[in-house]
Amino acid sequence: MFNNFFHKMASPKYFYRISGKLIPWFAVPCLLLTLAGLYYGLVEAPTDYQQGDSYRIMFIHVPAAWMSLFIYMVMAGAGAIGLIWRIKLAEIVSISSAPIGAWFTFLALITGSIWGKPMWGTWWVWDARLTSELILLFLYLGVIALYSAIDDKRTAARATAILAIVGVVNIPIIHYSVEWWNTLHQGPTVTKFDKPSIHISMLIPLLLMALAFKLYYAFVVLMRARCELLERERHTGWARELTEEK
Amino acid sequence: MNLNEFFHMGGYGSYVWTSYGITLVVLLLNIILPARQHRKLLADIARKARRAGRKP
């Protein structure tokens, strides 16, 4: 039975249909969580005693930075699955993740920069955290460029998967950079083994936004994957049947 | 808290709202662009299928 399920899920036609139905189930909760997160983050959460109201940038900066790492791991993981088992859908999920991850990395960098200006007195420092996150952006862009440079999409997917897997080495560097090196960037306040050093009134909007961003990624990657799938399979029977149904 | 204070953000209004504004634009674009591409693709496939269908 399970074999049958995976076989069905891996069939492009079936994936296309199911993913289309799944999108609103991620998009609507995403919108609701975003609205709740914005309300608690911008209205309910108290002003920080050190950073004033500038710290409210955290509610998008931190979830965006988390997403930049999370999406990279999904991209590399799906790439590895595609590489080993030659599953076309894994390749597609992997490559569809790249632009979304790049955008979240961009957001983490730009909101961090805007937060850094009033708090650190500078838009940018070449410290370990910021530099390794910038390298992450270049890795994403490298994956996108490599994929579009190779005409045969199956070959392209294999090449980008290898690049993505090699780039995984950057992920722990980003995560631990604030502990390994001296930096202006503050240390982790949530992902610590002991109690998080963040007040519950600020933790709640942060987690709401983080969950909203996860759901956002879930439905946007499905949207992109459907496009990529359709593009690759446009000459097959099911893609044509699809347009005749309407 | 009144609305003015809310937008002022204790003097950090421009930083906070720029950050949120850029994020909103980026997140919306990442929905709109794939949706548009999807529509285009479907129309393209349909057009090609019709053209192929006309020829016996």
The predicted complex's ipTM stands at: 0.91
CB within 8 Å: B10 and A53: yes
Task: Show residues of chain B in contact with A110, CB under 8 Å.
Answer: 19, 22
Alpha-carbon distances of B53 from A32, A67, B26, B46, rounded to whole Å: 45, 46, 41, 10
Q: Which domains does chain A have, with CATH numbers?
A: 30-244 (1.20.120)
Q: What token pair was written down for A241?
A: 């049947």
CB within 8 Å: B15 and A117: yes
Q: What token pair was written down for B35?
A: 């949706």
Helix (H) or strand (E) holding A52: none
The partner residue sitting opposite A115, judged by closest CB among B9, B19, B44, is B19
- pLDDT at position A197 is 74
- pLDDT at position B48 is 85
- pLDDT at position A208 is 97
Residue of B nearest to A117 (CA): B15
- pLDDT at position B21 is 97
CB within 8 Å: B6 and A43: yes
Name the 3-class secondary structure at A79.
Answer: helix
Nearest in space to A48 (alpha carbons), one of A195, A214, A193, A186: A186
CB A201 within 8 A of CB A37: no
Alpha-carbon distances of A58 from A111, A139, A151, A196, A209, rounded to whole Å: 8, 24, 41, 15, 10
**What are B2-56's pLDDT values in tens digits?**
788 888 898 899 999 999 999 999 999 999 999 999 999 999 998 888 887 765 4
The CA distance from A206 to A31, in Å, is 15
Torsion of CA A152, A155, A159, A162, to 10 degrees: 150
- The average confidence (pLDDT) of chain B is 89
State phi, psi for A48 to the nearest 5 degrees. Answer: -75, 140
Give the number of A-B residue pairs with CB atoms closer than 8 Å: 86
- What is the per-residue burial (b if ≥16 Cβ within 10 Å, else e) of B18-39? ebbebbeeebeebeeebeebbe
Torsion of CA A134, A135, A137, A141, to 10 degrees: 140
Task: Show residues of chain B in contact with A103, CB under 8 Å.
Answer: 26, 30
The pLDDT profile of chain A, 246 residues, written as one tens digit per residue, is 556 666 666 688 889 999 999 999 999 999 999 999 999 999 989 988 888 899 999 999 999 999 999 999 999 999 999 999 988 999 999 999 999 999 999 999 999 999 999 998 899 989 899 999 999 999 999 999 999 999 999 999 999 999 999 999 999 999 988 888 877 788 777 765 566 678 888 999 999 999 999 999 999 999 999 999 999 988 888 888 887 765
Helix (H) or strand (E) holding A48: none
Task: Show residues of chain A in contact with B30, CB under 8 Å.
Answer: 99-100, 103, 220
- pLDDT at position A194 is 60
